[in-house]
Amino acid sequence: MNDGDVEVFLSLVERHRRYLYNLAFRITGNEHDAKDVVQDSLLNAYLHLEQFEQRADLRTWLNRILVNCALDHLRARRRRPDLHDPQPISDVVDSVVSSSPDPERLAVSADCRRQITEAMNTMSPLERVTFALRHFEGCSIDDIARTVGIGHNSAKQHIFRAVRKIRVVLEAHRSGR
């Protein structure tokens, strides 16, 4: 492979980069990690171009690589908690935010956002990834199991546990308000 190949590859993935970056952001919860995950996944994709089957969709293939890179990244981040300083997931509770900058509502929203970030950070990497794919991306449990490379039941249980963690934090927050 030469420089020309790299340029062609980059132009091919360019149209998917926005989608990949946002998927990574939704999974990892912060822009810095999302950037690293996208870079790692595109590097991996380029190194394994020969594994890309022509009948497959490029975005689906890139999606699978990115999800596994994000998993690796979350696992590594978990082993180095001192480096883990994610920004809160922005606007995860848009529904409670008013369009007018009402200070009280903004404060409530910021607090709620912090609670969700906290809940997401208590999730294991697999719980976080499966939940993000199911809840934010709307992927079916079967697709998630295939993408992550785990069993259907295992994927289901990871989502259940993630939802439980979200509920514990948010419902406690709601009842305390």
Binding site for other proteins (CB under 8 A): 1, 3, 6-7, 9-10, 14, 17-18, 20-22, 25-26, 31, 34-35, 38-40, 42-44, 46-48, 50-51, 68-69, 72, 75-76, 79, 89-96, 112, 116, 124, 134-136, 140-141, 149, 151, 153-154, 156-161, 163-164, 166-167, 170-171, 174
Closer CB to other proteins, 20 or 147, in the complex:
20
What is the smallest separation between the CB atom of 56 and other proteins, expressed in angstroms? 14
What is the smallest separation between the CB atom of 9 and other proteins, expressed in angstroms? 8
What is the smallest separation between the CB atom of 103 and other proteins, expressed in angstroms? 20
The Cα-based distances of 3 to 9, 10, 29 in angstroms read 10, 11, 33
CA proximity to 93, closest of 120, 67, 68:
120
What is the smallest separation between the CB atom of 35 and other proteins, expressed in angstroms? 5
Closer CB to other proteins, 2 or 100, in the complex:
2
Rounded CA-CA distance 163/168 in Å is 9
The Cα-based distances of 124 to 32, 34, 48, 49, 130 in angstroms read 19, 17, 28, 30, 10
Token output for 133: 């794919």
The terminus-to-terminus CA distance of the chain in angstroms comes to: 59
Q: What phi and psi, each to the nearest 5 degrees, are found at residue 126? A: -70, -40
The type of residue at 177 is: R
What is the smallest separation between the CB atom of 57 and other proteins, expressed in angstroms? 19
